[in-house]
């Protein structure tokens, strides 16, 4: 199993450009989430999904869109990149369980907006 795979690992964008961060998991997990982590800070939830076709907003959703057409994939779209979106982005997945809180994270995408 590859777990949670994020691509690309690094990206530099110009202000105003758009792009999609890819996230794929091969564990058949229903729950998937996107986080951003700024230097010296904890992770903040951007968007999350409880299954294919269902998404919802987290703490900091502005400037980002998501969709979940399959269980495996959960792409994050930056509509018009801004310097404030310079951050490290992590995707996570977790199986549906009322007893288990273990989530699996990807290695992250380091995004710089200039």
What does the binding site for another protein look like in residue numbers (CB under 8 A)? 4, 30-31, 33, 35, 41-45, 48-50, 56, 58-59, 88, 90, 92, 94, 97-108
Instruction: For the CB of residue 90, give the shortest distance to another protein in the complex, in Å.
Output: 5
Instruction: For the CB of residue 55, give the shortest distance to another protein in the complex, in Å.
Output: 10
Q: State the DSSP string of the chain.
A: ---EEEE-SEEEE-TT--EEEEEEESS--SEEEEEEE-TT--EEEEEEEEETTEEEE-S--TTEEE--SSSSB--EEESS--GGG-EEEEEEEE---SS----EE---EEEEE-
Instruction: For the CB of residue 13, give the shortest distance to another protein in the complex, in Å.
Output: 20
Instruction: For the CB of residue 34, give the shortest distance to another protein in the complex, in Å.
Output: 11
Cβ-based nearer residue to another protein, 62 or 101:
101
Cβ-based nearer residue to another protein, 13 or 47:
47
């Amino acid at each position: 199993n590859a777990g949670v795979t994020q691509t690309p690992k690094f990206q530099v964008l110009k202000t105003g450009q758009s792009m999609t961060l890819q996230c794929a998991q091969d564990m058949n997990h229903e729950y998937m989430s996107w986080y951003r982590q700024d230097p010296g800070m904890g992770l903040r939830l951007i968007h999350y999904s409880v299954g294919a076709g269902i998404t919802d907003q987290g703490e900091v959703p502005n400037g980002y869109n998501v969709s979940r057409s399959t269980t495996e994939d959960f792409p994050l779209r930056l509509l018009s990149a801004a310097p404030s979106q310079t951050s490290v982005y992590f995707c996570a997945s977790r199986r549906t369980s009322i007893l288990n809180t273990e989530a699996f994270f990807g290695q992250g995408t380091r995004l710089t907006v200039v």
